[in-house]
Chain A
Amino acid sequence: MNLYGIRAIYKFEMARMKRTVMQSVLSPVISTCLYFVVFGSAIGSRMGDIDNISYGAYIIPGLVMLSLLMQSISNASFGIYMPKFSGTIYEVLSAPVSYVEVVIGYVGAAASKSVILGLIILATARLFVDYTVLHPFWMLSFLVLTAVTFSLFGFIIGIWADGFEKLQIVPMMIVTPLVFLGGTFYSIDMLPEIWQTISLFNPVVYLISGFRWAFYGVSDVHVGISVAMTMFFLALCMTTVWWIFKTGYRLRS
């Protein structure tokens, strides 16, 4: 195991976060604050409780997930896309590092950043809304698991993308709608039955439902299914990454 190699990649990526603190930390925190002000305080005060939880508190897990997913994808995809774009990838390809080590370095750093960001958002939310965390262990587990899974997903996008536009397409066109329709702002129960069924094909529903259960003990789907679905998506991403390195797809000709 080339531990120095993993550390070098990890440190390099974390240094990028420090340099871009405005973009990678401050901007998601500010936009989440805006959600809290608009949906939590302004509109939320006119809304009834959902599952006996005030609306402001109800949307917290979903909002954290929103930032977590978006930042995991953008951190990881950008992290591997930039060396490809600038050509510095030659060094990683010629280094004595296995693909597992490369992935641990890049995805580990991206996931770390997202987890840190998620915790900052949670701390910020405390300023606006009072909330409880019934199952702190599961809350952290979901946070880490989701961050790792979607960082892997971002890593795949970064390797697939051959232009800046493609880098943006998946997060903007696919992930944002999935998160908004995945129960961030409402319970799936509030939808007409047909849409409830359709929602069950949205993987983000399981993430948000499980995460919300860790906070308040209520969920749209059983927490076991949430864990299973998250693990399934993780396994899917891992298999894809394995395939990418095995075939050299867009990395080695």
Chain B
Amino acid sequence: MQPDISVRHLNKTYGDGFQALKNINLEIERGEIFALLGPNGAGKTTLISIICGIVNLSSGEVKAAGYDIVKDYRKARETIGLVPQELNTDSFETVWDAVSFSRGLFGKAPNPTHIEKVLKALSLWDKRNNRIMSLSGGMKRRVMIAKALSHEPQILFLDEPTAGVDVELRRDMWEMVRKLRESGVTIILTTHYIEEAEEMADRIGVIRQGEIILVEDKAQLMTKLGKKELRLQLQQKLDQVPGELTLEPVELANDGWELIFTFDSQQEQAGVARLLRTLGDLGIEYRDLQTRESSLEEIFVGLVHE
């Protein structure tokens, strides 16, 4: 099956000479949730804006749902819904009018049943006759999502959708994203809340200084780059790491009451067995032990600071 988004050798240099994107190559499959991570100014929004037609590309080729975004811009754009990062809403229009406007703009015949469904799904139905300026920030964010969904897009872009959004709306939003994915919509999101990407995404791309430095299945990324650590709570306090263990990645913590052993989760787990054997030989006893994997956030921080 052809990918829903295909980006080849994409470059973007702004008028002032700033090169925002450098030779981006990326394919996003139909129906997946793809999270694009990267520090501020890395080029996430520029990439999304080019695919959606808001920013012109400098060179390269981008296809959405198989259509070239320049030559076949109508067909390409019809398939895309965009929720931008900034809260850019009309002020004087009612929620209903604004969402209906978006549907028409994207070339779809009026369909009040669909608009009603979208508004209800986003808890906006009661506010449909309110002017947008009278709504709270969270509600405005919902209106922007409703506008993006008004024309039943195949591909949905969410640019920092949960920035500055309360817990309840965030939960609603992820619930909605899951439902959309179930119905076959491809979702591309950028977020600062890495735990969200960790929870939601199928694949993760990391962009740094205009370059995609990694695209990986989330689970594989976690095993590939994740560190594991084993913590042992000791029966007796140690003043220093015993000589037999100095070659191992071992350190003491908690005033010598805890021993921490770090290892790559990819590696065979022989290191753990060897460590425990050595501890047994040395007569060091422990009350309890835990292992934990490093989170995506730690992986991410590790990556962008390389």
Contacts and interface: CB of A to CB of B under 8 A. Distances in A.
B97 A2 contact: no
Given A2-B107, A8-B101, A87-B86, A94 B92 contact: no
Given A87-B86, A88-B89, A253-B15, A96 B147 contact: no
Interface stretch (B29-37, B74-82, B180-188, B286-294): B74-82
B104 A94 contact: no
A92 B105 contact: yes
Size band of the A side of the interface? 20 to 34
B107 A94 contact: no
A94 B53 contact: yes
Contact of A4 (B15, B56, B82, B108): B108
Interface in B130-157: 147
Given A4-B104, A96-B74, A253-B55, 12 more contacts: A4-B105, A5-B105, A8-B103, A9-B105, A90-B54, A90-B82, A91-B102, A94-B52, A95-B105, A96-B107, A97-B107, A252-B56
B107 A4 contact: yes
11 contacts: A4-B105, A4-B108, A15-B93, A16-B92, A19-B92, A86-B89, A92-B105, A96-B74, A96-B106, A97-B105, A98-B74
B15 to A, nearest CB: 7
Interface in A1-35: 2, 4-5, 7-9, 11-12, 15-16, 19
A2 to B, nearest CB: 4
B73 interface: yes
Contacts of A91: 82, 102, 105, 147
A93 B54 contact: yes
A248 interface: yes
Contact of A252 (B55, B74, B76, B90): B55
A12 B103 CA distance: 12
A88 B104 contact: no
Contacts of A253: 14-15, 55-56
B101 A2 contact: no
Nearest to B91: A86
Contacts of B103: 4, 8
B74 A2 contact: yes
Interface in B42-101: 52-56, 73-78, 80, 82, 84, 86, 88-93, 97, 100-101
A11 B106 CA distance: 14
A94 B88 contact: no
Contacts of B109: 4
Contacts of B74: 2, 96, 98
A93 B53 contact: yes
A111 B108 CA distance: 25
Contact of A96 (B77, B84, B110): B77
Interface in A229-253: 248, 252-253
Contacts of A5: 104-107
Contacts of B84: 87, 90
Nearest to B89: A88
Contacts of B76: 96
Contact of A8 (B88, B89, B104): B104
B41 to A, nearest CB: 15
A88 B147 CA distance: 11
Contacts of B54: 90, 93-94, 252
Contacts of B106: 4-5, 95-96
Interface string A126-159: 0000000000000000000000000000000000
B77 A94 contact: yes
A96 B88 contact: no
A94 B89 contact: no
A109 to B, nearest CB: 13
Contacts of B14: 253
B223 to A, nearest CB: 37
A90 B77 contact: no
B245 to A, nearest CB: 58
Contacts of A11: 101, 104
A90 B102 CA distance: 11
A96 B73 contact: yes
Interface in A156-200: none
Of B56, B84, B101, most A-chain CB atoms within 10 Å = B101
